[in-house]
Amino acid sequence: MTLGWFVIVAMSTPAENELLTETGPGTPGGRLLRSYWQPAALTEELEGDRPVIPVRLLGEDLVVFKELKEADGSLATYGVLARACAHRRADLSFGRLEDGGLRCPFHGWLFDRQGTCLETPAEPEGSTFCTRVSQVAYPTVERNGIIWTWMGEGDAPPLPGLDAFAAPSSHVFSFKGLWDCNWLQAHEVGIDPAHASFLHRFLGSVEEEYGLQFRATVADTGVPTTVLMRDVPNPTITAEPTSYGFRLVALRPYGSGSTAGASTDSFTHVRVTNCIFPNAITIPMSADIAITQWHVPIDDESCYWYSTFVSYTDPVDADVMRAQRSDTVELVPGNPKTYRPKTNRSNNWGYNAAEQRDLTYTGMGFDINVHDQWAVESPGAIHDRSREHLSPSDVGIRLQRRMMLAAMEAPSTETQVGTSDPAALRGPGSVDAVSRDPHPLPASTVGACWRSAEAKRRAASSWAEELSLQ
């Protein structure tokens, strides 16, 4: 099924808005998100002398810790436990990491990472009390710089077979940042291909220094991406359900309007981005790099984005990438670091009227993360979707909400999108491609165009598997 720009305009009702945005234990939306692996912390947060940090995730207070099996850290395993001790609810993030688990300082109860109570040393000798009590614990897996946890019911499924998990650690870099808004608000900027032509627009000459994205040229055309985005502001967008979520394809005919493709100076830009249902996106950053970004609730009014940059060609320089990004967030010494951007509502996201007049569309600097942050935070923590006016270009947002509401009605979590065989998921394909066929392109040409660019990239990669149809 392909959903074009002709979809019917409809708003979400207040009741639907609640369903879509509430994520605490026992809520339909919380159950939905808990049936997928979620990022709990960066591994870099668990470095140092005492790898124990408090984490709030989906409205639950947790403690994440690293258990070192070998002194050199080579056999590190991670645990995620409820933060309140099962005994009398003291805070386990102050616990003692010792004797194969986390020990509560109040009465010395010791829990391993499965939540098993190993000792209750204040009880009489021979007491079997600890066999009758356990700590809430969630399974974990570490992959490419992120500690993942699964908070669903029953047994945890395998991690999806996405590139972000399959890529070798030499070819990835992961980071995170805090946004003061509901996770869905954050996610919806990522499934909205139209905004890039405005929110991230650069008014000056592209020779000038410009942020971290959009400076590259579009394939072999010699046209900088930022110019293409600026000159073709109204892409034709389609949203197509897939095994992992949905694929968004944005077409921008460049050159001679409706005759694009008729000469060597004109072409159609085909940009493929994705929703990995329910709360991640994969988008191309350049010919070599794609980024997968999860939006995970801290609670209903704040969230973290976790991004994994994946290089299909050369290894990445993680130290340089970390230094660039660490500069933009508050890494408050202590426990835990917040990763809150220094630019935020308290300083008007860095807004400067002269810059907005002369240089950038937002007046908020060159960093596209700040632009996105303003777009998702400025409506307020949970914006009122019953007062929106969704337009035809919001086709991805509309599909996301429909899929979420359908998933909440599904008879079991196994029937939700992407849950039946997550390990079989591949990619997803996320690429910028160019077609010189005459505009408008038939759907078959669009598909062949991006799939051929994606196949070329994977054929040249030392690790990426060929992409089968999804």
Residue 88 contacts ligand FES per CB under 6 A: yes
Binding to ligand FES in span 89-128, by CB under 6 A = 90, 104, 106-107, 109
Between CA 34 and CA 21 the distance in angstroms is: 14
Residue 156 C-beta: closest distance to Fe ion, Å? 32
Q: Which of 53, 57, 85, 229 binds ligand FES (CB under 6 A)?
A: 85
Q: Binds 372, which of Fe ion, ligand FES, none (CB < 5 to 8 A, cut-off by type)?
A: Fe ion
Nearer to ligand FES by Cβ, of 5 and 106: the residue is 106
Binding to Fe ion in span 354-383, by CB under 5 A = 372
Q: Are the C-beta atoms of residues 214 and 371 closer than 8 Å to each other?
A: no
Between CA 202 and CA 38 the distance in angstroms is: 34
96-98: strand order across its sheet: 96-98, 101-103, 110-111, 117-119
Token pair of 372 as six digits: 């996105």
Q: Which of 28, 61, 87, 448 binds ligand FES (CB under 6 A)?
A: 87
User: 393 exposed, middle or buried (CB, 10 Å; 0-12, 13-18, 19+)?
Assistant: middle
Between CA 464 and CA 452 the distance in angstroms is: 15
Nearer to ligand FES by Cβ, of 109 and 306: the residue is 109
Amino acid at 188: E
Residue 243 C-beta: closest distance to ligand FES, Å? 45
Nearer to ligand FES by Cβ, of 103 and 252: the residue is 103
Nearer to ligand FES by Cβ, of 90 and 206: the residue is 90
Amino acid at 242: T
Strand 137-138 vs strand 117-119: parallel, antiparallel, or unpaired? unpaired
Residue 106 C-beta: closest distance to ligand FES, Å? 4
Nearer to Fe ion by Cβ, of 166 and 395: the residue is 395
User: 449 exposed, middle or buried (CB, 10 Å; 0-12, 13-18, 19+)?
Assistant: buried
Q: Binds 107, which of ligand FES, Fe ion, none (CB < 5 to 8 A, cut-off by type)?
A: ligand FES
Q: Provide the Cα torsion 302, 305, 306, 308; round to 10°.
A: 180
Residue 88 C-beta: closest distance to ligand FES, Å? 4
Which range, of 85-93, 181-189, 191-199, 459-467, touches ligand FES by CB under 6 A?
A: 85-93
Nearer to ligand FES by Cβ, of 107 and 322: the residue is 107
Residue 198 C-beta: closest distance to Fe ion, Å? 10
Nearer to ligand FES by Cβ, of 104 and 281: the residue is 104
Q: How many residues bind Fe ion (CB under 5 A)?
A: 1
Q: How many CA atoms lie within 13 A of 251 on its CB side?
A: 27
Nearer to Fe ion by Cβ, of 60 and 372: the residue is 372
Cis peptide before 278 (omega within 30 of 0): yes
| DSSP symbol at 253 | E
Q: How many CB atoms lie within 10 A of CB 286?
A: 16
Token pair of 307 as six digits: 């991004």
Q: Binds 90, which of ligand FES, Fe ion, none (CB < 5 to 8 A, cut-off by type)?
A: ligand FES
Between CA 36 and CA 413 the distance in angstroms is: 9
Q: Binds 112, which of Fe ion, ligand FES, none (CB < 5 to 8 A, cut-off by type)?
A: none
Residue 94 C-beta: closest distance to ligand FES, Å? 10
Cis peptide before 440 (omega within 30 of 0): yes
Q: Are the C-beta atoms of residues 118 and 137 closer than 8 Å to each other?
A: no
> Mask of contacts with ligand FES, 436-465, x by CB under 6 A?
------------------------------
Residues that bind ligand FES (CB under 6 A): 85, 87-88, 90, 104, 106-107, 109
Residues that bind Fe ion (CB under 5 A): 372
